[in-house]
Chains A and B, each alone.
Chain A
Amino acid sequence: QKEVEQDPGPLSVPEGAIVSLNCTYSNSAFQYFMWYRQYSRKGPELLMYTYSSGNKEDGRFTAQVDKSSKYISLFIRDSQPSDSATYLCAMSGFKANSKLTFGKGITLSVRP
């Protein structure tokens, strides 16, 4: 079993839809949970991070962590064609020098 599992996709939705992206993990030592967005021909860029369990909102994006279920989610409200990208979840331990472990990524396409 991989440490981090992410729904493989791809995912195609109409503009304005609510998108839910999910990852599960097995390592209880993970404390920081991140979502990266990667546009075509670019490197990943950090979208949001959350520490431990709870929700975090940033504009149309909401990150949710449930440590008891070892499950994290990213919700995108009112999705736009500009949201079309690959989304990767990533996790790390408590220290700033902890290695990041990534999910495989899911490619999202938002149709106009």
Chain B
Amino acid sequence: KAGVTQTPRYLIKTRGQQVTLSCSPISGHRSVSWYQQTPGQGLQFLFEYFSETQRNKGNFPGRFSGRQFSNSRSEMNVSTLELGDSALYLCASSSQTGPYNEQFFGPGTRLTVL
């Protein structure tokens, strides 16, 4: 089975721009979660989508949004980029059929905001 894929792997943007990141989950997984990882804050939960519906949301401003398509692929959008948005953005998929929420992570998209 192919793992979780994320595109692009690296991205450089300037302040004020917007960006869209893409995530393809493991085949059959209907849950996709997004995280922001920085050295100072660690791994912070952004939101989770399940069957095209946002089911959980972290404590991030409205500039961060996402969506999920019928094939479970997901996109994350950040508008009006700020320097502090520079981070590794990780996507994780889960089948949620087991006893616990086992998440499989992609390699991440490294976003640099100049």
Query: A interface vs B, CB < 8 Å?
Result: 6, 31-32, 34, 36, 41-46, 49, 51, 88, 92, 95-105
How many residues of chain B have a CB within 8 Å of chain A?
28
Contacts A92-B100, A96-B97, A97-B96 given; does A44 touch B56 at CB 8 Å: no
Which residue of chain B has its CB nearest to the CB of A4? B42
Q: Are B96 and A44 in contact (CB under 8 A)?
A: no
Query: B interface vs A, CB < 8 Å?
Result: 4, 31, 33, 35, 41-43, 45, 48, 50, 55-56, 90, 92, 94, 96-108
**Which one of A44, A98, A101 contacts B105 once the chains associate, using CB atoms below 8 Å?**
A44
Shortest A86–chain B CB gap in Å is 10
Q: Are B105 and A45 in contact (CB under 8 A)?
A: yes
Identify the 8 closest CB pairs spanning chains A and B, nearest first.
Answer: A43-B105, A104-B42, A32-B100, A102-B43, A96-B96, A44-B105, A43-B107, A92-B101
Which residue of chain A has its CB nearest to the CB of B48? A99
Q: How far is the CA of A105 from the CA of B41 in the complex (A)?
A: 10
Q: Are A49 and B100 in contact (CB under 8 A)?
A: yes
Shortest B34–chain A CB gap in Å is 12
Q: Which B residues are in CB contact (< 8 Å) with A34?
A: 100
